[in-house]
Chain A
Amino acid sequence: MSDAIDKPVPFPAAGNISDAEREELRRHGILMTSLEELYNWGRSNSIWPLQFGLACCAIEMIAAATARFDIARFGAEIFRPSPRQADLMIVSGTVTKKMAPQVVRLWNQMPEPKYCIAMGACAISGGPFKQGYNVLKGIDRFIPVDIYIPGCPPRPEALLNGLMELQKQIQGERLTGPDAARHTRPDMPSEFSVPSYGEHDLQPTKNAEVWKPATPLTRSGKG
């Protein structure tokens, strides 16, 4: 197991055996796998999203569940109406400041392992409403986001692509070791503080534990 951690492979095999050797064994009718792989394979193909939409992106999300785009191909068609049964929160649409505490509360009620997709420009950064007084400038100010899907709104194919990226992320997760997945580590929080309604804005306006943006790049010399 140890060198599998040192050399990351997309599909962690059991022991030191390479993927080519494993494929060779499979041709002879011997299937080799690891508990980790099996576990991640199962999880990544049954991501149950939370059934809630915030704006026009939700319409695209609904379209992704229809027969034409068929999110069921990825095992993610079971939109759960309760956060306690959901694995994935698709923040699909504009998060107003009035709605933000409810979104965080729903996230806190979801059991681990849980993932978050920020779908569309509004959920990522506030989008066209960035300069408004009532729209949160990105849901990643309050909850950790795994996948960002740009678009206004993104097409259902983009959502499916985001879902496939999330599947890749889940399949690459480790259950043990120093780079173990977030949900296996007791030191990583799974609940985040819910902002309260202030007199002029949300209090606090961002969760500094979650939202750690890079220093903005500015052009040298010219300013």
Chain B
Amino acid sequence: MEALDQIRDRLLARFSGASVALVTNPGPAAEHSLLLDPAHAREIALFLRDDSALQLDYCSNATGIDWPEKEIVETKKVSVLDPAGGPAKITEEKTKRVEPGCLEAVYHLYSMALRHGPVVIRMRTANRSDKVNLPSLTPVWRSCDFQEREIFDLYGIVFDGHPDLRRLLMWDEFKDHPMRKDYVDPDDFEWEPTPHAGVLDRAKMHYSAPATLAVSAAPQPEVKP
């Protein structure tokens, strides 16, 4: 299979106006990926599937990523001349910038015909709140159906053109997206007889009795009705 940057160059040559970026993976896996812009993603996906050199006919996995808004502090060393004539002082200048958050869908593509892969493609939404639409790739790869429904359920990405976009795991009335970083799960830790610290801390907030309650003095209501 040709290298990922060759694929990108071919895509850029074929689809004028499309933006295809190479996202490198610095880890030991070095599994780099292509970031597609949502406007051209459907045509590019069809091309990847039908191109004779690639024939990526199988989407093995589709998943989501939540990128919350991130504040990045950059420190820069600046040397300031001392007005009294002494040696130049080196001070650190900090600049803050806010990287906007987004939601991302990742697809892992393989070719059954040519036995190569994976090629990883990504798409990002404009933001995390109101512009969360991405084109569905289910019309291209049928195996994306349930996985895109799962992404919709857990991350809240709305896939335009999906044949049956409903929640997959949670019930239809559910409003939240549990895999988002800012999800707050329901507080039903009323009674936890466990020494597990994380659980116990949440349970203690429900205890009406103070923590200094004597063991013998604790009233024991009957458990079974």
User: Could you tell me the distance in whole angstroms from the C-beta of A78 to the nearest C-beta in chain B?
Assistant: 27
B182-225 residues with Cβ-Cβ distance < 8 A to A are: 183, 185-186, 188-194, 198-199, 203, 207, 209, 211-215, 218-225
Binding site of A, secondary structure by majority: helix, strand, loop or mixed? loop
Q: Judging by beta carbons under 8 Å apart, are A218 and B221 in contact? A: no
Cβ of B178 < 8 Å from any Cβ of A? yes
Taking CB atoms, residues of chain B closer than 8 Å to A31 are none
Cβ of A2 < 8 Å from any Cβ of B? no
Q: Judging by beta carbons under 8 Å apart, are A218 and B211 in contact? A: yes
B interface residues (Cβ-Cβ under 8 A, vs A): 169-176, 178, 183, 185-186, 188-194, 198-199, 203, 207, 209, 211-215, 218-225
Interface string of A196-217 (1 = CB under 8 A from B): 0111110001100110111111
A interface residues (Cβ-Cβ under 8 A, vs B): 97-98, 125, 130-134, 137, 144, 188, 197-201, 205-206, 209-210, 212-221, 223
Bound state CA distance, A119 and B186, in angstroms?
A: 25
Q: Judging by beta carbons under 8 Å apart, are A133 and B186 in contact? A: yes
Apart from A125-B192, A134-B170, A212-B221, list 16 A-B contacts with CB within 8 A: A131-B198, A133-B183, A133-B185, A199-B173, A210-B225, A212-B225, A213-B191, A215-B209, A216-B193, A216-B207, A217-B218, A218-B211, A218-B212, A218-B215, A219-B215, A223-B211
Bound state CA distance, A205 and B218, in angstroms?
A: 26
Q: Judging by beta carbons under 8 Å apart, are A209 and B225 in contact? A: yes
Contacts A133-B183, A215-B221; is A220 near B178 (CB within 8 Å)? no
Taking CB atoms, residues of chain A closer than 8 Å to B207 are 216, 218
Highest count of chain A CB atoms <10 Å: which of B174, B203, B209: B174
Taking CB atoms, residues of chain B closer than 8 Å to A200 are 174-176, 186
Taking CB atoms, residues of chain B closer than 8 Å to A97 are 171
Taking CB atoms, residues of chain A closer than 8 Å to B219 are 215
Q: Judging by beta carbons under 8 Å apart, are A212 and B222 in contact? A: yes
Bound state CA distance, A132 and B202, in angstroms?
A: 13
User: Could you tell me the distance in whole angstroms from the C-beta of B167 to the nearest C-beta in chain A?
Assistant: 10
User: Could you tell me the distance in whole angstroms from the C-beta of B188 to the nearest C-beta in chain A?
Assistant: 5
